[in-house]
Structure 1
Amino acid sequence: MHITPGPVLETINSPEDLKKVPKEQLHQVCDELRQYIIDVVSVHGGHFAASLGVVELSVALHYVYNTPYDQLVWDVGHQAYGHKILTGRRDNFITNRKYNGLSGFPKRSESEYDTFGVGHSSTSISAALGMAMAAKYKGEKDRKSVAIIGDGSMTAGMAFEAMNHAGVADSDVLIILNDNCMSIDPNVGALKEYLTDITTSHTYNKLRDDVWKLLGKLPVGKRFTRDMASKLEASVKGVVSKSSNLFEALNLRYFGPIDGHNITKLTETLKDLRDIPGPKLLHILTVKGKGYALAEKDQTKWHAPGLFDKITGEIYKKKFDLPQPPKYQDVFGHTIIELAEQNDKILGITPAMPSGSSLKFMMEKMPNRAFDVGICEQHAVTVSAGMATQGMKVFCNIYSSFMQRAFDQVVHDVAIQKLPVIFCLDRAGLVGEDGPTHHGAYDVPYFRCIPNMILSAPMNEQELRNLMYTAQLESTKLPFVIRYPRGEGVMPEWRKPLEEIKIGKGRKLKDGKDIAILSFGHPGNFAAAAIRDLRADGFTPGHYDMRFAKPLDEELLHEALRTYGKIITVEDGTVVGGFGAAVLEFMQEHGYKNDVRILGIPDRVVEHGTLKELHRECGYDAQAIADAVRDLMSEPIKIESLL
């Protein structure tokens, strides 16, 4: 399907082209840009509501600033579709998030306009400040740095650390706070209430506008020195309202709030702020999903809806004749409620992902026992540890790639103290179209190296339920990690009775001859499919579902290594330091010399694509496993490996 941009947007292939558009036509540019995003995403998929909310801001920034010389840093970056379209990627935008196509996030190797690679939240202020400090050091006095951050990302500690530094760094950086009361789910916490207070303080806003005009817009303002103006502005604001104190206490000049959908006001304001040196913050108010009524009404649902009919709003869902397995996240969401009904010590924690993790079910049914702490992974881990000191059984549910941000807290606050926090790592392994910033590739190595940790992965939904059941038992005294992938499992009938799994014990699924497959987690299903095909060709691999990467099932490993001369390990994590590496370490310790091949995520950055495409590229889908068996079996067995 060919998608044609509007007549003005069609002429814009760079910000230089945008600057040639008369300011009276910027409204039309915004309308056409918004419609183009709707047209493309409805047919090709991707994030949706976030980019619609910053259309006017995207246009205004590239209209006013000298990009790419001036540095724009988008926080998270799923809202940067308009930015990409305006910076030479319009005609290629249909490849967004597709295999070998454009990234769904800003990416330095993709365009000089993408000044910083993003994907995780709350990094923009630090990055932009670093750029501003470097520009100052190099004497680039006319070079500007701008961080665009949402009110959801602003809840993270890293954002406050950066603002704290920006206030004393004496660098020319502008922070644009895009306030829409949303991240993926509605924002939570005191900061949300604080920003609401600023937004609704009519007296403050009117006087702030008057002061701003007095000092900067009217001739009388020219007679004030910068120091006199700053003191008067601060004094007046302090008398009228305390709303400005948070940012100004950090020595950031605060401007706003202003309407983020008024392109004329935005461009005028940005032109003014571009000429004001030093650290400053512009607070704009926007609507996530602006311009598409259904997205404005249900912003969580339309964050990334998949393919849809842009006229009716129908979101296309695959239709199946037979019952389908649930998503792993939903199995978690329903099972934690089942367990909590039996165990009143169970609590749930998630850092701003109640929908993505499915903890939302517990939050709705047991609101006093499940908590969204905002985009604060470090806090999520340590608050869970605090609860655990009081005898609570806390399920801390975090995406695998986001868990990386709280490594120190896991070591210092949980593992050293042997607190039995239960970490449920959603999106472990490759995640598909979100790409390298979101792949959960590294959790096995970074958890495996920490003392006192239990590290597990279920092969299916029943195993996930049983691991969750085991983790919350009083007999479990150590931190317990359960990692599981994005998407569907394999069991339509998944509600089986809960059973305890002995910690560190795997299971033998099939006996075989000459070669065995040791799988860890969901890829065991790929191995099972490969074995079915191989047996039709006369190959008979054994199969072991190991369940635990720490502690390893040493009894099962001894059996497999003594029985089979050739071993293949399969995992959906990095092969460097992962489950396969743990098997090699065990072999070295006990003197085994079997032929071993490790399948998993290779030691390189894996880009985006569908899960099937990426599993195939990385060489651990069913076909790749079968190929590895045939290849390894073509080599002679070393007799000494069986000794």
Structure 2
Amino acid sequence: MTDLLSRAATPAGLRTLDDQDLPELASDIRELMVRTVSRSGGHLGASLGVVELTIALHRVFDSPRDALVFDTGHQTYPHKILTGRAADFDTLRRRGGLSGYPSRAESAHDWTESSHASTSLAYADGLARAFHRTGAPDRRVVAVVGDGALTGGAAFEALNSIGAHATPVVVVLNDNTRSYDPTAGALAAHLARLRSGEAPAGRNLFTDLGFHYLGPVDGHDLTATQDALREAAALGRPVLVHTVTDKGRGYAPAEADTDDRMHACGVIDPRTGRPLTPAAPSWTSVLGAELTALAEDRPDLVALTAAMRLPVGLGPFSARFPDRTFDSGIAEQHAVTSAAGLAAGGLHPVVCLYATFLNRAVDQLLMDVALHRLPVTLVLDRAGVTGPDGASHHGLWDLALLSRVPGLRIAAPRDPARLRELLREAVDTTDGPTAVRFPKATAGPDLPALAAMDGIDLLHRTPRAALDVLLIAIGATAPAALDAARILERHGLGVTVADPRWVVPVNPALAHLADRHRVALSIEDGVREGGAGALIAQHSADHGTTPVHPVGLPTRFLAHGERAELLAAAGLSGPALADTARALLARATGAAAAHDLSHPAHPNPGRTS
């Protein structure tokens, strides 16, 4: 902690600094962020770009009495540093430490847990109305939104509402021309005209929607930015302050990264920005290579992304087939319904999203895709526990949500080879939608099947032993299930590990397989209640005799931490699964013994009724 960082550790302290101290403070904040993120990983580029803007915001507005609502909260590292959390910043993204996003549990200065884009304006609209109705109209509300996040439909809905009702919200547009990728669409072109001065003077999209427009302002010029914010605060009406910033500002490796300005990074050398360990093949890279190979032979294949072309593995595909790659901006709802139109027109669209972001487009999947039985394939990256990004980014809900969509088939590959073959099966499906899900993790070794049975891969079977325990491993839980099988065998139990490959609809052979064992468990890295395991359990209850016990994640928001430790804490490690199986087996044995005692095979002939 430098002297300036200590003095500016709270907004009140920041406001006591002289203007000439601020450039040095900005440099100290950048140095602290680079030093910390190089050890923890995190979202670096966006936060580097808003250092001066965040300083200006906290000097003009009185947080938390005035509400500062940040959209897509990976730009809030400077905000955390200036609101009492600089001393703990080295705990960033570690289990029990600071969240990588705003967190209401951490600070009164954080109004939302924002990390899904395009929501800040609607929050701000509601807060401003609430302050007015509760007798505090002097409390000011500011929404900080990027040009990328402004492409989302929810942002346009909020602009429409704020402008129509003259809600006194200050919208700070942080225009760095990027989300992950360069911002796409007509809005990006409009902002470019505003930046260049080519737009008609005094009139633009925002003024037509009822906003007073200020800008464009150099968001790295502290004096100009503070002056614009003070003017906006004094107007008492909807105002949009158009600030122009550079993503990755002040850190040479980020400025030189033309792909995404180090939007997100792992552990790096802070001097060079390069990873300290060679990048291992990921599930995402396997997907990208296979989809590109498929498209060579399938001219009907097209790919869609919601402003995340590189993070979802579409770099190779988009380089090879730029005219078959469509970027919706941060607008998952539009992407899914656009895919429905592409499918209705005779193509096979593959929509590549993070599993957590698909939550936003469930209605479109139901009513625009599934209702019409259209052949759209969803590729869901980061399914299950993602790790340090925390509650909003864990892909826990996809199996529970999607398993209720009529006609949707869901595949969960256990290894890279299965990802390739299941993707091919998915895009070969012509009579309805499909989904393929995989985790945020290194793509481990292939796990070949010992045998196949009615579409189910048998990964392990104890030779010449009684069939005690069936472990139904869904997708990436297969390694933990195999580990559990080895532990159970050391206790003298016979174990089968089965991978259904296609999880939904339930394969009828699973009930028959379960009936050959004393106990059966399904294992998934999604929420247990209402998940795929619950479907398997219901099917077995309807069609079999051995109950299937679903094992999965709790239905709650999980904190950030390393993926392996979060899975272990939820009972999804090999030892924990073995303990669960043994407990179920003991319970089943006890129930059977109690049944035998109450219904003896050879009742006492002298007993009377």
How would you bin the TM-score normalised by the shorter chain?
Answer: over 0.9
2-structure distance, mates of 1:423, 1:28: 47
Equivalent position of 1:194 in the other structure: 190
CA RMSD of aligned residues (A): 2.1
2-structure distance, mates of 1:91, 1:598: 43
What count of residue pairs does the alignment treat as equivalent? 587
2-structure distance, mates of 1:302, 1:390: 38
The question of 1:617 aligning with 2:586 is answered no
2-structure distance, mates of 1:566, 1:308: 46
The question of 1:564 aligning with 2:517 is answered yes
Equivalent position of 2:73 in the other structure: 77
SS in 1 for 2:372: coil
Equivalent position of 2:607 in the other structure: none
Equivalent position of 1:455 in the other structure: 410
Unaligned 5+ segments in structure 2 are 597-609
Contact 2:416 2:446 in 1 (8 A): no
Superposition map of 1:166-177 within 5 A: 166-177=162-173
Moved more, 417-426 or 445-454: 445-454
The question of 1:444 aligning with 2:440 is answered no
Correspondent of 2:14 among 7, 18, 24: 18
Change (3 A) 1:317 1:458: same
Contact 1:99 1:613 in 2 (8 A): no
Length-normalised TM-score, structure 2: 0.93
2-structure distance, mates of 1:506, 1:253: 62
Output the amino acid matched with 2:542: E
Equivalent position of 2:471 in the other structure: 517
SS in 2 for 1:315: coil
1-structure distance, mates of 2:509, 2:277: 45
2-structure distance, mates of 1:636, 1:346: 50
Contact 1:97 1:104 in 2 (8 A): yes
Equivalent position of 1:249 in the other structure: 208
2-structure distance, mates of 1:394, 1:604: 33
Contact 2:253 2:272 in 1 (8 A): no
Equivalent position of 1:588 in the other structure: 541
Equivalent position of 2:486 in the other structure: 532
Equivalent position of 1:276 in the other structure: 235
1-structure distance, mates of 2:477, 2:551: 10
Contact 2:380 2:436 in 1 (8 A): yes
Superposition map of 1:275-424 within 5 A: 275-298=234-257, 300=260, 302-318=262-278, 326-424=281-379
1-structure distance, mates of 2:125, 2:497: 53
1-structure distance, mates of 2:273, 2:544: 62
Equivalent position of 1:121 in the other structure: 117
Output the amino acid matched with 1:139: G
Equivalent position of 1:603 in the other structure: 555
2-structure distance, mates of 1:90, 1:143: 26
1-structure distance, mates of 2:179, 2:59: 26
2-structure distance, mates of 1:383, 1:118: 26
Moved more, 174-183 or 520-529: 520-529
Equivalent position of 1:59 in the other structure: 55
Contact 1:580 1:598 in 2 (8 A): yes
Correspondent of 2:505 among 551, 554, 573: 551
Length-normalised TM-score, structure 1: 0.88
SS in 2 for 1:368: helix
Q: Per-residue CA shift, 1:302-337, capped at 9, x if unaligned?
A: 112222222233321258xxxx6x211111111111
2-structure distance, mates of 1:392, 1:363: 17
Output the amino acid matched with 1:185: D
Contact 1:133 1:169 in 2 (8 A): no
2-structure distance, mates of 1:334, 1:448: 28
2-structure distance, mates of 1:344, 1:312: 41
2-structure distance, mates of 1:420, 1:76: 32
Q: Per-residue CA shift, 1:48-92, capped at 9, x if unaligned?
A: 111110001111111111110100000010010010011011111
Equivalent position of 1:216 in the other structure: none
Correspondent of 1:626 among 547, 561, 578: 578
Deviation at 1:273, TM superposition (A): 1.4
Output the amino acid matched with 1:358: G
Correspondent of 2:389 among 418, 429, 434: 434
Equivalent position of 2:603 in the other structure: none
2-structure distance, mates of 1:423, 1:287: 33
Correspondent of 1:260 among 219, 242, 245: 219
2-structure distance, mates of 1:443, 1:314: 33
Output the amino acid matched with 1:119: S
1-structure distance, mates of 2:361, 2:166: 30
The question of 1:36 aligning with 2:6 is answered no
Moved more, 297-306 or 130-139: 297-306
Q: Per-residue CA shift, 1:610-632, capped at 9, x if unaligned?
A: 11111111111222112222333
Equivalent position of 1:161 in the other structure: 157
SS in 2 for 1:186: coil
Output the amino acid matched with 2:99: S
Equivalent position of 1:476 in the other structure: 430
SS in 2 for 1:416: helix
Q: Per-residue CA shift, 1:444-465, capped at 9, x if unaligned?
A: 1111111111112111111111
Equivalent position of 1:210 in the other structure: none
Output the amino acid matched with 2:383: A
2-structure distance, mates of 1:632, 1:122: 46
Contact 1:470 1:476 in 2 (8 A): no
Equivalent position of 1:234 in the other structure: none
Contact 1:505 1:552 in 2 (8 A): no
2-structure distance, mates of 1:196, 1:245: 12
Output the amino acid matched with 1:263: L
1-structure distance, mates of 2:282, 2:323: 25
% identical equivalent positions: 36
Change (3 A) 1:310 1:636: closer
Equivalent position of 2:601 in the other structure: none
Unaligned 5+ segments in structure 1 are 205-239
Change (3 A) 1:627 1:445: same
Q: Per-residue CA shift, 1:353-409, capped at 9, x if unaligned?
A: 111111111000111112222111001001110010122111111111100001110
Contact 2:518 2:588 in 1 (8 A): no
1-structure distance, mates of 2:193, 2:238: 23
SS in 1 for 2:286: helix
Contact 2:447 2:459 in 1 (8 A): no
Contact 2:412 2:474 in 1 (8 A): yes
Contact 2:214 2:240 in 1 (8 A): yes
Deviation at 1:301, TM superposition (A): 5.4
Q: Per-residue CA shift, 1:550-583, capped at 9, x if unaligned?
A: 21111232222x2112111100100010111112
Output the amino acid matched with 1:586: H
2-structure distance, mates of 1:144, 1:47: 28
Deviation at 1:39, TM superposition (A): 1.9
Equivalent position of 2:45 in the other structure: 49
Deviation at 1:593, TM superposition (A): 5.1
Deviation at 1:597, TM superposition (A): 3.2
1-structure distance, mates of 2:474, 2:32: 44
2-structure distance, mates of 1:191, 1:170: 22
Change (3 A) 1:399 1:312: closer
Correspondent of 2:441 among 476, 487, 509: 487
Q: Per-residue CA shift, 1:259-294, capped at 9, x if unaligned?
A: 000011111221121111111100000000111122
Q: Per-residue CA shift, 1:190-215, capped at 9, x if unaligned?
A: 1111111111117x6xxxxxxxxxxx
